[in-house]
Structure 1
Amino acid sequence: MLFQYHTLLWNHAALRVQDVRHAILQPGESLRAYQLPASAFLYTVRGKAHVLIDENEYAVDRCYVCHAGKGAFLDIAQVVEAFEYYLVFYTAVLTTPYCQKLVHRHQTSNPFQVQYGFAPQFPTPLFLGIEQMNRQWQQIGTLEQFHVKALFHQFVYELLHQLQEQGGETTQPNLVAQAMRYIEGRYAEPITLNSLAAVLDCNARQLQRLFKARLHVGPIEYLIQVRLDKAKALLQQTNVPLKQIAEAVGYTDSYYFSRMFKKYMGVSPSLFKELAWQRNDRRHNPSRLSQFPIVARRLRRYSDIGDDENHYQYKNEGALHMYRSSKASLAISLMLSLVLLLGACSGTSGGGGASPTNSVNVQPAVTRGEADNANTAGKTAESTQRSIQHLKGELVLEQKPEKIVVLDYQYIDQLLALGEQPIGSVIATSDSSVFPEYLTDKLDDVKVLGTKEEPNLEAIIEVAPDLIICTEFQEKVYEKLIKIAPTLMFDRNEDWRTMLLKFGQIVAKEQEAQKVLEGYDQKIADLKAALADKLNGQTVALIRPRDNMIRLHTTGHRTAEILYRDLGLSAPKMAVNNEQTSLPISLEVMPELNADHLFVLKDDSNTELTDEFQKTSVWKGLNAVQANQVYTVNTTMWIGYYGPIAINLVVDEIAEALL
């Protein structure tokens, strides 16, 4: 255990006791699959039992202490005599100032998430401390609550001291196992990558990376697999309506469920059910049923745990395949082969990376009727060559592309600003709506192609694009993309002005792009003068509650630049940082930020956390709050859809708030 760094992190953390509980399990009773809502210490006083925290098992006899982080699953079983224990739940956030090295340690070895258990050599001080905490917690006075906080600090010190003396070892939480167990138990509930990460108190990208490394699919793909396997079992074993089956596995829209089922299984749910019942699989061939039960998986029996155990969700270290039929896979393979064959016959380069100077003849796919109408109307294609520089080299467009796919949702905004729209796009996951309200009325039948983290290649093939536009987020699938259509890759954080001019070049609307920029510059010039007169040096900050902390967007952030660079507003000293785009700070540090005006980014993923922060005395005591100068704005529009339409709306909201 890295006691030196863990102690430093404990020293820099703002600790808050969330709950203290006392319970007794009688022989034969158990606690099953309890997911910790916060980091917790388990202290046992008497009795014998087996305690399981995720995959770590402890044979507990009388005085014993365990620790686990938020999201871990706790099981207590094989209680042979009265088993008495305490649970202390707490949260911990780092407070500034702290060095980046410490932040890195927190990310790689978080003492508030690690798991361990040991029998303390001197249990009495720990028992007295936790028993007093429990008594004080039952009181309703604020002074008693403060006493609990002081007692908790003493308890943690005593525990860490004994753990260090006894040479205790800690274990990093198995986030993949936790996520799999959560998904298998709650697959019928709305689950997104961000909500899953929030439950497990981890970073969404980290969770995605761990899933890919262990199972070769992302969490959402795994969720889809679980849901469809449950659906298969219900179709085989019951005769309930399709709508009820869809709802039972987490899909409120039965039509969408049918599309998903056919996409991954190769046949519709109705046909699958008909074939299954014809074979009488429901009663006579249980070996063909889904490997997942209809109800949540029963907890492992402790007596069965051994080296030869083959529990799928814990032991599978190989590839985890989606259960698509060979028919569907064959169709996709044929489509890809056809794309490659046509590309070889035309002698063109797909993405411009290997042969950066090759030209690509990008032509929209049209029907014979459309071609006749086009000829009748005298419509002609753009013929001027345009050479587009991108991260992979150069791509030469012979004609204007008509069927564009974008794999970053901010590019929808760029195209709409020029009077164009993509035929398909990935979506954001921070809001429940597919596309933001400010764009919905401008969009016409744009196909959803997954998320920027997990673009759906099959769906991209289906829409048959002339051109694909992606960012470095799709680096791993770039070679597959260029086999589907010519592909441009741009830096996701490139200035929106630069990207608008780039899109103007792509769709042959350079003059329109220039006019949009000129209009923005004029709006900014007028507003900048008005704000200078009104605010007279008052500071403005942009924050986003996230991951149990507050993300302060600095002067280096692309949206914050609107406030500080474009409009010339004053940033608090803490926010002046051009090297990092954001800084994590705790709620307790907000008074030090001391901003006169606060713009708070809020979306579906952080509504609960934001509301929780705003109820605290720390928040209510902020200067901006007391002056009624806090403005809640939409995260998706402010930082997700980074294009001229969103930027202009952001500027309008700033003007409305500050003038």
Structure 2
Amino acid sequence: MPLQEQASLWSDTTIKTLDVRSGTLPPGGVMSETGLTANLLLLAGGGEGGLVMNGEVCHVRASFACHAVKGSAFTLTAGSENIHYTVIIYKAIPMTGAAHVLFPQRNHPLRTSFVHYPVLPAELHQAADKIVAKWSRGEGLERFHANALLQGVLYELIMEHERGRGGAESDMVDVVAAYIAGHYRQELKLKELAALAGCGARQLQRRFKQEKLLGPMEYVIQLRMESAERMLRHTDATIGEIAERTGYHDMYYFSRAFKKYYGVPPQRYRRTAASGTGALSACSGLPDRLACSYESLQGPVICHMRGEYCVTASPRRIAVLDVQYADHLLALEMLPAGSVGLGSAALNFPPYIRDRLKATEMLGTYEYPDLQAVERLQPDLIICTEVHDQHYERLRRIAPTIMFKRNESWQRILSLFGELTGKRGEAERIITDYIRRTALLSEELAPVLAGKSVALIRPRESVVRVHTASHRTGAVLYRDLGLPAPLFVADTSDTAYHISVDRLPAVHANHYFLLSNEMMQEGISVTEQSVWGMLDADGREHIYPVDAATWIGCYGPTGINYIVDQVARALLA
């Protein structure tokens, strides 16, 4: 159809609301409509459930919209939680004098049934509440306004649906990837993952491969193999135990799968990793100069972002420009000669290691190191991050300087600190103890959190950050401890989503770890107050305030174990 004719059809169309109703579908409740005599728009929020529309079966999650055209049949069944809904029955009719055949093309949005996940569900539900309020006041101007509001809602949904933004096509991969990240140890089937995404298995396979370059079941294998590789390196668990913990009930099948993925059997991989030889010790050509080490005739060589450092003798006066490195040294029973601290007007070290740093010189802050204090300290080694790149030349004139990526894995950095200080065995023991501990705690938490999800949020100015498994603290929760992430939180390269406070219900978590700045600001911000008010209003969520400075900035082994302690106390209380 010519564009001009399409535009004419839109401009000559009016929306007439016929009925509006709202309510709550209890767990297991059913809403069913057959042979609709007009179009129906269903706006739902809350729990998940199953939807059968015109014979098509799909799984629906919190905050979705269902558009069903005249003649359609659908059945919505609530899952384990309430589904709050608004149903609007309407007609799209030509205005007087316009063409009598409205939208003859079969794929036009107003003649198409579809399920859609809005980009801003909170705003959509606010509009729905206004429509209900206007409609309930009876005839006249209020119902005229209800028609106008409905037209606006339909416009937003159609525009998003046409662009594919926020719909099942665009976010199904993120939803399934997030679910796999939290459940890869369990038996997963492609049909179940497709049902979760609300699509067919072939459609999910195609979309997943387009975005991840591998299929969903291949993604499951990737996460299992990465988990197995970490346990082989850092624990003394048997092959059978590792197989069981990564979702394989047959040890021999696991061994074959591991060899296919890494090229060597798991036992050989473990021996090679322990000896530090072969392919596992190579570091040349790694992207972004990831930290690693290799053996030379003179001693261990540390590869860092600005070159290599040969450890001919263990340094004794070490200055660190990130407090996480002070934590690493303390874990190895080494006291840093100097370290940056936290704060602005009054500088201090993190409370959980403060007492052990009484003899350590304060060197400013991470963002603003006191370089004159570093010079006066006369260290024999300086350790910094890429944030200090502008100071690197000055620093290395003071003493040999190693630069690590700040977001580098703390296990990797601790292993290198073991190489630097001659305490390789102690470093490996700390890593092994941590992996054992988190594996046991993960098993203990699994039945407690069955069917429940955990969110990590941080109020910031006028927005809320919802952290993902790509964030370092998120990785502790979702990868190390295996806590179930909300479906809202996709497994993505971004460390956080930024949402407005009123969109917080869309996260739909049962437990919230709220990263609070109260200790730094001597009181909570307006945004944090709003978050508390919104979550407290429901009464079903559990909220655990934790210190943002510690949870965000302190990534040494002591700090990480401190976070694990707090998680255990909160969720096992």
Question: TM-score normalized by structure 1?
Answer: 0.40
Question: TM-score normalized by structure 2?
Answer: 0.46
